[in-house]
Amino acid sequence: MDRRHEQGQAALAAAGHLRRMIVEGALRPGEPLRETKIAEVLGVSRNTLREAFRSLANDGLVVHEMNRGTRVNQLSAEAIREIYELRRFIEIPALRDGRRTDEVVARMRASVAAADAARHRGEWIEVGTADLDFHRAIVSLTGNSRLIAFHEKMAAELRLAFGVLDPEVLHEPFIDRNVQIAARFADGEAAFAAELLADYLSVSENLVLSTHLTIH
Amino acid sequence: MDRRHEQGQAALAAAGHLRRMIVEGALRPGEPLRETKIAEVLGVSRNTLREAFRSLANDGLVVHEMNRGTRVNQLSAEAIREIYELRRFIEIPALRDGRRTDEVVARMRASVAAADAARHRGEWIEVGTADLDFHRAIVSLTGNSRLIAFHEKMAAELRLAFGVLDPEVLHEPFIDRNVQIAARFADGEAAFAAELLADYLSVSENLVLSTHLTIH
DNA sequence: GCATATTTGTCCGTATGTATA
DNA sequence: CTATACATACGGACAAATATG
């Protein structure tokens, strides 16, 4: 049996594989991605791999330079500041002014529960995933699919910075903050929840930036 | 003569060519883009054309469905509402709170002058381009490159809806509005300029939506 | 500054899966 | 159901740009 097409989309599978390797830190920021080598490892042709690269470049996980190839994106301190500025700009009004629904409240609770469970297992990558899902739930309050996609792309980009930092130090302090935010929002105290969220983002930005600066 | 490599970047050139045809209405929303045929017309291989399609899909100008190919994107009324909601969310605070610089003021004046000149020549596509450039200048006040790129992508997407409408009716009324907004902002009356901008966006949205609905 | 090796950019031919008349 | 058109994917080839010694 020919399994090449059983997933239906070789480029998508390759992109997913690379995405996971980047998020987990197996491929480090700045590392060049050689087409021939990676195509061989993933078992796809160079043409297919180049399509996967396009998809990842679209998400900001890799950057492509003409005639110089593709490499894992490396966030500058300025880029990190930009992303947090936009997270504030998007998430705080979304939480403060968004229409509360049972569906979103349930999704928030599920995310914080998943983060807490992953903490006890010591799986910090999973904690990070659950954390981002919590904040995606906040943005989903806007109901604007383009804004949701934009925020999701930035969140994925931010994980590039997380990848080189100590995941426990980075994520552990924020689980309880998310619990508080979710509880306040569920109780109808959206304005107070938004203030807690503003605190979260400030502290998180300073932590990521300070650690980022000491490394580079 | 072999013209295949003389431009250095066939995929980029092909994407630019298709982008222009879509914006000018030569390719209409919903129209399927056959790989073999278009590759032949543009004089590039199918591999190269597929890379160009990825780039256009990234910008929201075309949509790709698995095993069903690529077609020119067709904006729904809901999509148009989403885009205007985000234009308000982004442009109004940018104009109201942005730091005024001579550079941006000059860029605004250049844009409205270009729009006015194109009006007298009857070149409405050019008017549309100048109009969008004016609003890009507003967003550039934020200094956030990611926000600027996001806004630009939405503006390009919006031109899909413009393409099937009467360009004179669509653009003519807004040239003078931009003149007023630019003048107020240059005079330091940012808050008033922002109110005029809010008016602009409301009227524009209603015009595009009403014409869109009567057509579809 | 030059010659060489590596890598990317692009094209072609072909086989196979998928959708549709 | 079959036939046809089309998209998906592979592998090989060569040109052009870049990196290396």
Chain segment B59-106, per-residue pLDDT in tens: 999 999 999 999 999 999 999 999 999 999 999 999 999 999 999 999
For residue A84, what are the contacts with CB-CB under 8 A and spacing of at least 6? A201, A204, A205
Alpha carbons B162 and A89: distance in angstroms, whole number: 29
- A7 — pLDDT class (breaks 50, 70, 90): very low
Selected residue of A66, A147, A148 to mutate for chain B interface (largest B Cβ count, 10 A): A147
Q: Which of A12, A23, A33 is nearest to A158 (CA)?
A: A23
pLDDT at A122 over 70: yes
- How far is C-alpha A93 from the chain's CA centre? 20
Protein CA at B18 to nucleotide C1' at D19, angstroms = 34
DSSP string, A39-72: HHHHT--HHHHHHHHHHHHHTTSEEEETTTEEEE
Enumerate the residues of chain A whose CB falls inside 8 A of the CB of residue B50: 51
pLDDT at B214 over 80: no
CB contacts < 8 A (A, B): 40
Q: Do A9 and B145 touch (CB under 8 A)?
A: no
Q: What are A22's two structure tokens?
A: 């980047």
pLDDT at A4 over 60: no
pLDDT 10s digits, A70-91: 999 999 999 999 999 999 999 9
State residue B2's pLDDT score.
38
Q: What mean pLDDT is predicted for residues B146-161?
A: 95
Alpha carbons A203 and A209: distance in angstroms, whole number: 10
Enumerate the residues of chain B whose CB falls inside 8 A of the CB of residue A147: 82, 86, 89
Alpha carbons A174 and B85: distance in angstroms, whole number: 31
Give the closest of A9, A50, A86 to B146, CB-based: A86
State residue B3's pLDDT score.
39
Cross-strand partners of A62: A72
Q: Do B144 and A55 touch (CB under 8 A)?
A: no
State residue A2's pLDDT score.
39
One-letter identity of residue A151:
H
Least confident of A12-26, B133-147, B158-172: B158-172
Whether B51 contacts B157, CB under 8 Å: no
Q: How far is B85 from chain A (nearest CA, A)?
A: 9
Give the nucleotide nearest to B36 (CA→C1').
D6
Alpha carbons B29 and B161: distance in angstroms, whole number: 8
**Tokens 């705080």 label which residue?**
A92
Q: In which element (H, E) is residue B71 found?
A: strand B69-72
Residue nearest to nucleotide D9 (CA to C1'): A48
Enumerate the residues of chain A whose CB falls inside 8 A of the CB of residue B139: none
pLDDT at B215 over 60: yes
> β-pairing, B32-33 with B62-65?
unpaired
Whether B32 contacts A31, CB under 8 Å: no
Residue nearest to nucleotide C16 (CA to C1'): A5
For residue A117, what are the contacts with CB-CB under 8 A and spacing of at least 6? none
- How far is C-alpha A94 from the chain's CA centre? 18
Q: Which residue of B has its CA nearest to A12?
A: B66
Q: What mean pLDDT is predicted for residues B165-170?
A: 87
Q: How far is B64 from chain A (nearest CA, A)?
A: 13
Give the closest of A55, A86, A146 to B154, CB-based: A146
State residue A164's pLDDT score.
78
State residue A213's pLDDT score.
79
Alpha carbons A185 and A109: distance in angstroms, whole number: 11
**Tokens 């994107």 label which residue?**
B73
Protein CA at A124 to nucleotide C1' at C7, angstroms = 37
State residue A184's pLDDT score.
97
State residue A163's pLDDT score.
82
Q: Is the dihedral of CA B55, B61, B62, B63 positive or negative?
A: positive
Alpha carbons B8 and A15: distance in angstroms, whole number: 26
State residue B166's pLDDT score.
85
Whether B114 contacts A175, CB under 8 Å: no
Q: Is the dihedral of CA B142, B145, B148, B150 positive or negative?
A: negative
Indicate if CB(B35) is under 7 A from strand D. Answer: yes
Q: Which of B196, B170, B164 is nearest to B183 (CA)?
A: B196
pLDDT at B28 over 50: yes
Enumerate the residues of chain B whose CB falls inside 8 A of the CB of residue A66: 8-9
Q: What mean pLDDT is predicted for residues B189-210?
A: 97
Enumerate the residues of chain B whose CB falls inside 8 A of the CB of residue A54: 51, 54-55, 58
Indicate if CB(B32) is under 7 A from strand D. Answer: yes
Q: How far is B90 from chain A (nearest CA, A)?
A: 9
Q: B86: how many CB neighbours lie within 10 A of its CB?
A: 18
pLDDT 10s digits, A136-145: 999 999 999 9
Indicate if CB(B88) is under 7 A from strand D. Answer: no
What mean pLDDT is reported for chain B? 92
Enumerate the residues of chain B whose CB falls inside 8 A of the CB of residue A50: 51
Selected residue of B150, B153, B154, B160 to mutate for chain A interface (largest A Cβ count, 10 A): B150
Q: What mean pLDDT is predicted for residues A146-164?
A: 93
Q: What are A63's two structure tokens?
A: 């950057």
Sheet holding B69-72, edge to edge: B32-33, B69-72, B62-65
Whether A34 contacts A68, CB under 8 Å: no
Cα separation values, A3 from A10, A11, A45, A52, B108, Å? 10, 14, 15, 19, 57
Whether A95 contacts A194, CB under 8 Å: yes
Q: What mean pLDDT is predicted for residues B186-204?
A: 97
Q: What mean pLDDT is predicted for residues A39-60?
A: 94
pTM comes to 0.93
Cross-strand partners of A120: none
Selected residue of A146, A152, A160 to mutate for chain B interface (largest B Cβ count, 10 A): A146
Indicate if CB(B3) is under 7 A from strand D. Answer: no
% residues pLDDT > 90 (chain B): 81
Cα separation values, B214 from B77, B174, B179, B209, B211, Å? 11, 21, 30, 9, 5
pLDDT 10s digits, A168-183: 899 999 999 999 999 9
pLDDT at B4 over 60: no
What mean pLDDT is reported for chain A? 92
If you ran DSSP here, which 8-state letter would residue B8 be given? Answer: S
pLDDT 10s digits, B53-66: 999 998 999 999 99
Q: What mean pLDDT is predicted for residues A10-37?
A: 94
State residue B200's pLDDT score.
97
State residue A70's pLDDT score.
96
